[in-house]
Amino acid sequence: MRYFDPLTRSVEPVRSCLRVFFMKVFVLNCGSSSFKYQLLNMETEELLAIGLVERIGLDDSVLAYEATGKDKVKEVSNIADHEQAIKMVLDKLVDAEVGVISKLEEITAIGHRAVHGADKFTKSVLVDDAVIAAMEECIPLAPLHNPANITGMKAMMHVLPGVPNVAVFDTAFHQTMPASSFIYALPYELYEEHKVRRYGFHGTSHFYVSNRAAEILGVEKENFNCITCHMGNGSSFAAIKDGKCYDTTMGMTPLEGLVMGTRSGDVDGGVFKFLENNANMSIDDIDNMLNKKSGLLGISGISSDMRDIESAAAEGNERAQLAIDALMHRIIKYIGAFAALLGRVDAIIFTAGIGENAIELREEVMKRLSVFGIKADSEKNNCRGKEQIISADDSAMTVMVVPTNEEITIGRDTKEIVDAL
């Protein structure tokens, strides 16, 4: 076994690299004008520092930084690009007052969230020129996300040369879907020539919460059937059979499936031609509408935030209530369909912003799923953001909340790959 030595920037035999026991991984989730980051000690899985940088390339950029046991930092300045932003964050990590490491050489590896790997990547990989080229080929499938992910990788490789970078793909977990799940009923040549098919997203989250739920319930993940409900501004469900993804709600892009914050979810494809002919909308107009002006925002006319919509509904706003009802309808529809596909469901798992915090929504979902013998425990369900079984003891299916932790999954994959060098 050989290991990457963070101090010499070289691959050395394990016996000369006892320093690996202090492996620190910088996790980067890069968007087009912002990124989130964490520094993790992967030997203890301890969070050392966390933060985000927003409005990159715009006036009044914001850098937020918080290290364990240190004062929070928030700075407003003009940050020209991602590389400058990364350098500023790294400066904070070694700062005498708020830093958590003495020198940058302590960073052993960088783990990147990568949104779309199509069917090119079935697992996390060490980033090199070939990986970046393959991700660039996938840009048409994720034009908003992949360029930003690639920008982050290139910036880190330039700022910390010689440090291994690992790409962890949202789509990788879903590559176990059978062809009957991922194929679209379109001319087969479109799949062969243009890779038009279902890919799924939030894979890192679905992987983490399904494995963690199996641990909590004391079930071997290879024998675990569950439905994972990742519900945030973007939402997707996954049907997991014997620990592997069998089906998921998102499709070739993150647009398909559930009603989301600003995304429509499932829509009849015939609507697009109708709007072109009757509403004077171009395909770009329609695409922008489906992704940015639809979903909860489109129906309610108020907000994409579930908290705002629930407040408006409580005050008697009918469109806000309709948005909630439409979301609920889609939730029940997909859980029911996935339960039928799996045959046996050991657990239904709620996660992410809405899933972890929307107490009333979870309660209503359990009531509407009583046909499956599900019973809610209102006292247990009165929780936010913590691991909790929320179904009654005599419920036919276990329903639970498991907060997602995509960053720790990225850190674990990164450590595993770097350990194997």
Distance, in Å, from the CA atom of 27 to the CA atom of 35, rounded to the nearest integer, reads 10
Read out DSSP for 187-215?
-HHHHHHH--S---S-HHHHHHHHHHHHH
Q: Give the architecture (CATH level 2) of 2-169.
A: 2-Layer Sandwich (3.30)
Regarding the domain delimited by 218-406, which CATH topology (the fold level of the hierarchy) does it fall under? Nucleotidyltransferase; domain 5 (3.30.420)
Give tens-digit pLDDT for 34-93.
Answer: 889 999 999 999 999 999 998 888 888 999 999 988 999 999 999 988 889 999 999 999
Give 14's pLDDT tier (boundaries 50, 70, 90). Answer: very low
User: Which residues are annotated as catalytic?
Assistant: 170
The per-residue b/e assignment along 9-26, b for 16 or more CB within 10 angstroms, e otherwise, is eeebeeeebebbeebbbb
CA distance 171 to 199: 6
The tens digit of pLDDT for each residue in 211-267 reads 999 999 999 999 999 999 999 888 999 999 999 999 999 999 989 999 999 999 999
Give the CA count within 13 Å in the CB-facing half-sphere of 66.
6
Q: Provide φ and ψ at 37, rounded to 5°.
A: -150, 155
> For residue range 271-285, what is the model confidence (pLDDT) as tens digits?
999 999 999 999 999
Domain range annotation of the chain: 2-169, 218-406
CB 227 within 8 A of CB 349: yes
Q: What is the pTM of this model?
A: 0.87
Same fold, 2-169 and 218-406: yes
Average pLDDT over all residues of the chain = 91
pLDDT tens profile 20-33: 446 899 999 987 78
The 10 Å Cβ neighbour count of residue 83 is 17
pLDDT band at 142 (very low <50, low <70, confident <90, very high): confident
